[in-house]
Structure 1
Amino acid sequence: MRLLFLLLLFIPLSFQCLLCPLNTPPRPRPLDQFKIPSIPKFNTDSIPKFCNLTQQLPVGDTCRHGISRIFCSADDLIDAYSNGCPGPEDQEQCSVCERSKPANMWVVRWFDSLGKMPHGVSDGNYYWLGDYEICHDIQREKHFSGQYCLVRLEVPDALVEAGCPQTDPLEIIYGICAPLECRENELESIAKTYAPYKVRVECEVDQEKPWSHTIVWSLIALWKIFLITLTILTGKSFAPDWFARFNIKVNGARCLSTRRTHNRQLHAIHGLMLVTYIFIVLGYVYNLMLPYIENVAFAFDNIPYVVSHLTNNHSYHIDGLMALLCFYSATLMYGQVTTLLHVVQVTFNTILRFWPSYAFVCIYIIFLFQYNTSGPMWIHGEWSNRCASSWWKNLLFINNYFGARETCLDFGYAISLFIHFFAIVAFLCWLAKDRFAIALIIAGVGIVASITYSFVIIYTLDLPPAPIITAEPINVDKMEYLLNYIIICPLARLSPALIGFIFALLPHANLPKNFVFFQYEKLFRFLLFILVIVFNLFVCFYLVNFSSGVYVHPIFLAIYGAFHRSIWAVSLLILGYLITHEQGFSVIEIFLGWRFLSPLAKRIIPAVLISELIIISSFSSLHRPSYATHWFTIYRVIFAALFSLKLALACDTLISRPLRNLFIRDFQEEGQTEEEEDGIEMEEVNEKTGV
């Protein structure tokens, strides 16, 4: 039984990258499946000079001059080596000829910098990036004014007429070192002249940092100086008491405090949340790396394997995390939230715990992120522009009502859901204090409404049951409908949160003493364990056939799409109960209830936010695509998970806590328990809390 439990416990709990299903590269195909143009026969003796070819290009005079600089130098170099230099009879021309060789050798490096067909094209290696460094070296050495550009060629599928179901084009990303005088539309005209494909050119130029970039960095530096100064002055005879609210040492100690309630079940919840976080980062790495690797087939080849499906089908794990958070919050709040004003206060205090870090990350993306580095795969402006237009929707937690693309960070939609659900749970905890049955009935109605809504939307619109990678591509419009109407919709995701609330209130229900649970407690727990196994197998593996291309009736897909999130929430909460109350799992309980995990688990939300920045930066800042393997993925996960937690602790110490302390009346230097941090003054928490 312990072995089965360990297998269930360490099932990968992946996180759903919100926009990743819309950016997943197409399944790789052999190169001979595409309409590659044939090279015409020509007579080598009739080839005109490179320099003369520039006169036929459909570009302006300025761009033509820049291209001529390259091609004419190539002609001079070829002439110098093919014809040889004159002998002693013409010393002046001989000297000119000898000097022209080294003067034009940079052209050889220019040709070397161009993209070329690499290995593994059939495996998904469509990045023909060339050499980014050589292009910039030539420019820095002032041989010519150049810029690195990406030419995106959409090569159509040759089997469309033959009925091939995958009709999306192959996009080859080709790197060139183009003259700075040429505009992107002129380069597109040249590409269309020699390649009859849809072409898009994107050029990288040295971006001058705007004044806003300097202002933000200056404000960050001033804030650091302010904190360091108050930290040094704290405790001095002339220093006021409020200096301690900004003391880095005090806030750091409180951030790492392991003081907590005596509720053992909440200790196990901390451990479960941290384990979930590790696999959240795994899901992030797996999904975010696909546009930046040279073997996209790595993801598609793993679709038929059952074990790999644990990572492929991953969106329900955010519902499990939501259920854990709501169970944890409701357990603390029940009986302590006595007024509606207290509900507002508790919700406000919860928002203050991570909102400053959230706002800082958004500011960082808008003003600083795109200037961090450069490279052929670096994101220039796309992410920053999206965040700049939607930041207020995210910080007001209303981005869920504007569509999946109106998000600053992928995890932003989950934060908005959590705030909505926390406020609902806080209200129900206040209501349950005097009207216990009514609160449970409202929660039950909400669960039924959530499941019914999901079923109706998925079935009537014929949507996929979850955002997963499939053998046959899912229509992009249907995937976007799924994201907008199910994934980010509060009603569709409400059920797991209310299930967490109900589980928190079950110990307070007035069950009769002859209830079957009390008479056959051990048998009941064993049956719960069997139920967990069945639930996990159903949720984790039911869509294996669907993702592999096997037909599944739409009504069964709709049933899965409507119920699997709630089933997973129930399964995860039962696991938390069994960990605490089943003696056979005492070792696991000790591990999950380790005090060291408590301060880390409380920083999961900012850590996940930061992990998105870390993962995308680590892939897109490279000058060449990565080659994905299972060990490569694990290494990236370890780095991103640990580094993100470290930065989350730093953000909490340097940003969130100093600002949150302004709203705390009785500030103390010692650490706080979870209840005090949430603004709940709990006199006693029942140690025997259970189902």
Structure 2
Amino acid sequence: MAESSCLPLVVLLLAAAAAAAPDLARQLDLFDPARAASDAASTNVTVPCAQAMAAFADGLATHQDWAAKMFDASGRYSTGFLWGNNFWLGSSDLCMTLEENAVVPAVFSVARFSLDVPRITAKTRTVHVGMCLPRACGLEDLRVLVGAGLTQLEQRNATLEAVRSPQLDEYRFYADGTFVVLALVCALVLALMVAGSIVDARKPPPPAAPATPECEDGSVGKPPIALDVVPAPKRKMALSAFLVCFSVQRNARAIFDQSVGGDTLAPIHGLRFLSMVWVILGHSCIVIFKYADNTDFRGVVEREFLFQTISNAAFSVDTFFFISGLLFSFLYFRTTAKVDLNKITKATGLKSKGLQFFGLLAYRFGRLTAPYMFVLGVVQVSMRWFYHKSVFEPPTLDHENCPQYWWRNLLYINTLFPVKDMCMLWSWYLADDTQFYVLGALLMMVAVERFRTAALVFGGLMFSSWCTTAYIAFNNDHNPSMDDPLALFDKIYDKPWTRLGPYLVGMATGWLLFTMNCRLRLGKGGAALGWSVCAAVMLSLLYGLYDAQLDAYTSAAYSSLSHTAWALGTAWVIVACSTGHGGFVGRLLSAPSLYPMSRVTYCAYLIHPLIIRMMVMYVDSPLHLARTTVMLLFLGHVVLSYLIAFAISVSFEAPVVALLRLISPKKE
């Protein structure tokens, strides 16, 4: 009796499921090429379009192969809508084969809809539908055809937002003014590289520089880094010396040199490279998740414990800020202790300080800007091409913002403006770091003569940054345990007054390493305690918010202090590894095999988001997310980013560094 009583319930459930399936398909029926072909005659399309659509309808009715392919190349709802599939694109590649070889030439277009289906999902979705239709139909004809077939249902609100066609778009990148400038610059640089390589090949090899401890005077054979940034006395530069700065073999040797170098510390190399890999991992996930046919998979993996490694990848940028502050402070104090900068500037007092300050800025600007502006131009042309030619819409408005606001990037002030107007969104780090560099230069010049005053200002800046961040987080109800890390990008994430802490910690660490000359007497127990505290702090920052519930005050405190706490943990890593207490970690971070990757990390940072976008937007269909897919794509992004970064570094970064050293004054 029990089994027979359950039978009607099972039948009812099966009937409901059977009824729901066609209803779902009907609610999500946004475009049907066969329906468009049959309705074309009754719509207000052009005569050529109406005739072509009639031929398409006849081809479908008579089972013509070209018409079947045209129908098959168009996108439509199939499955996965409730799993986050918003790209019903069909196949633009298949449609392009019909561009010339069909009875009716075809063209591929993409329609973007705003879809609200409350009986299926509470969210308003943006859906992209691919359309392979006769080429005789222009964009306005396509809008009419799509609009005519978009029947309004009682429980559905669908709106056509835009129609665009990569094939009908007349954009040609070689006619773009920016591309022409880039081509001329590349031709000039290539000519200089060829000439420099020939001149360098004819010169005798330079004598090997003797090895010296990196914390004492690792600058043998080249001027200290801080001296590279003060005004040089006038002297003639030989043409051959200028050309050799562009020598490929010389710059490649410098990149692959297995010595630490006089402008860094050994563990910095490994830390910089590993942090860059972490940045690429975070950016890969952000872009890949956007262009997937199962975007709700992200919500599943985000609930996993180890995904906190990706969601907290913002700490990798704090590591970069820390490294920048540390090296600037360490090298500046080391140089001022060994060299009288008044003799270099041939001035005293405020005039000498002013010359030092503007020399520092000039070096920084020259050092960073050449590869930066080159990549910015490449990004502008690439994103403009994607906007016109890809079946996907670009993730940001670089094709509009870069031509209009590139000067903000050039001046490194783009984080002082709204994020919606930013060109190269990831360049926010360069702007903040340069602004910190200016502030750090002023602080260190004061510290050389009035250390207590500089220390008071240092503490005031740190405290004010904490308070400002806490205030903004509290007023905006920011909850770091629940919100997306980029949720308040324009208010907290990219603003210099909220990200200053790690840079200041780096400056303090650099001063500490200088004062103790990279020597620290510490027993095994003390070292073990230091590493234990460091691991506890950094692991709690990475994974401590998993399933945590924070109130408003705790959230504000965490937002305020977490970045500085991460920098303090990183400070212990560098201090321990630089003073002989690093153990396995020290050997890993100081491995000579990581030095080349570290030296091209700046260029890798510049180019890697473009590599990620290209690998996604060049295809004609969305990705299907899976753990192995994401990891394989990520590894490909790392390898390709560093290969291209090496080419950019040899062409634009290393020659500028060599030129700056060529014109810098030498130690008397």
Q: Do both proteins adopt the same fold according to a TM-score greater than 0.5, normalized to the shorter chain?
A: yes
1:561 corresponding residue in structure 2: 559
Structure 1 residue runs without a partner (length 5+): 1-30, 41-47, 79-103, 161-165, 471-478, 512-516, 667-678, 684-691
How many Å separate the matches in 1 of 2:585 and 2:275? 15
Cα distance, 1:390 vs structure 2: 2.1
Secondary structure of 2:498's counterpart equals coil
1:614 corresponding residue in structure 2: 611
Q: Which amino acid counterpart does residue 464 of structure 2 have in structure 1?
A: A
How many Å separate the matches in 2 of 1:157 and 1:233? 69
Cα distance, 1:484 vs structure 2: 1.5
CA gap 1:467/1:495 in 2 versus in 1, 3 angstroms: farther
CA gap 1:313/1:119 in 2 versus in 1, 3 angstroms: same
CA RMSD in angstroms comes to 3.4
Equivalent residue for 1:217, pick from 171, 180, 183: 183
How many Å separate the matches in 2 of 1:181 and 1:483? 45
2:192–2:243: 8 Å Cα contact kept in structure 1?
Answer: no
Secondary structure of 1:130's counterpart equals coil
| Higher deviation after alignment, 177-186 or 293-302 | 177-186
Equivalent residue for 2:592, pick from 592, 595, 614: 595
CA gap 1:615/1:493 in 2 versus in 1, 3 angstroms: same
Equivalent residue for 1:483, pick from 486, 489, 495: 489
How many Å separate the matches in 2 of 1:168 and 1:345? 55
CA gap 1:438/1:654 in 2 versus in 1, 3 angstroms: same
1:370–1:381: 8 Å Cα contact kept in structure 2?
Answer: no
1:440–1:502: 8 Å Cα contact kept in structure 2?
Answer: no
TM-score by length of 2: 0.79
How many Å separate the matches in 2 of 1:353 and 1:328? 15
CA gap 1:153/1:375 in 2 versus in 1, 3 angstroms: same
How many Å separate the matches in 1 of 2:468 and 2:435? 18
Cα distance, 1:343 vs structure 2: 3.3
TM-score by length of 1: 0.76
Cα distance, 1:638 vs structure 2: 2.0
CA gap 1:142/1:495 in 2 versus in 1, 3 angstroms: same
1:272–1:592: 8 Å Cα contact kept in structure 2?
Answer: yes
2:109–2:165: 8 Å Cα contact kept in structure 1?
Answer: yes
How many Å separate the matches in 2 of 1:385 and 1:614? 20
1:100-179 alignment, distance < 5 Å: 104-141=64-101, 143-158=103-118, 167-179=122-134
Q: Which amino acid counterpart does residue 436 of structure 1 have in structure 2?
A: F
Q: Which amino acid counterpart does residue 571 of structure 2 have in structure 1?
A: L
Secondary structure of 2:85's counterpart equals coil
- Is residue 573 of structure 1 aligned with residue 571 of structure 2? yes
CA gap 1:180/1:467 in 2 versus in 1, 3 angstroms: farther
Secondary structure of 1:423's counterpart equals helix
1:126–1:173: 8 Å Cα contact kept in structure 2?
Answer: yes
How many Å separate the matches in 2 of 1:107 and 1:622? 24
1:27 corresponding residue in structure 2: none
1:313–1:466: 8 Å Cα contact kept in structure 2?
Answer: no
How many Å separate the matches in 2 of 1:640 and 1:656? 21
CA gap 1:681/1:287 in 2 versus in 1, 3 angstroms: farther
1:533 corresponding residue in structure 2: 535
How many Å separate the matches in 1 of 2:148 and 2:37? 18
1:439 corresponding residue in structure 2: 454
2:234 corresponding residue in structure 1: none
2:209 corresponding residue in structure 1: none
1:672 corresponding residue in structure 2: none
How many Å separate the matches in 1 of 2:626 and 2:479? 28
Equivalent residue for 2:398, pick from 383, 394, 410: 383
How many Å separate the matches in 1 of 2:554 and 2:77? 45
Cα distance, 1:298 vs structure 2: 2.4
2:330 corresponding residue in structure 1: 331
- Is residue 552 of structure 1 aligned with residue 512 of structure 2? no
Cα distance, 1:456 vs structure 2: 0.6
Residues 144-190 of structure 1, C-alpha deviation per residue, up to 9 Å, x if partnerless? Answer: 34321112233214159xxxxx8431233211113334344543343
Cα distance, 1:116 vs structure 2: 3.3
- Is residue 293 of structure 1 aligned with residue 292 of structure 2? yes
Cα distance, 1:593 vs structure 2: 1.1
Equivalent residue for 1:343, pick from 338, 354, 357: 357
Answer 1 or 2: which has greater helix percent.
Answer: 2
**Percent of matched pairs sharing the same residue:** 17
Residues 554-574 of structure 1, C-alpha deviation per residue, up to 9 Å, x if partnerless? Answer: 111111111111111111111
How many Å separate the matches in 1 of 2:133 and 2:553? 54
2:5 corresponding residue in structure 1: none
Q: Which amino acid counterpart does residue 253 of structure 2 have in structure 1?
A: A
Higher RCO (C-alpha under 8 Å, 6+ residues apart): 1
Cα distance, 1:267 vs structure 2: 0.8
Equivalent residue for 1:656, pick from 646, 649, 653: 653
1:43-58 alignment, distance < 5 Å: 53-58=39-44
Secondary structure of 2:314's counterpart equals coil
CA gap 1:437/1:682 in 2 versus in 1, 3 angstroms: farther
How many Å separate the matches in 2 of 1:64 and 1:56? 9
1:228-377 alignment, distance < 5 Å: 228-234=194-200, 240-261=240-261, 266-337=265-336, 338=341, 339-368=353-382, 370-371=384-385, 374-377=389-392
2:165 corresponding residue in structure 1: 203
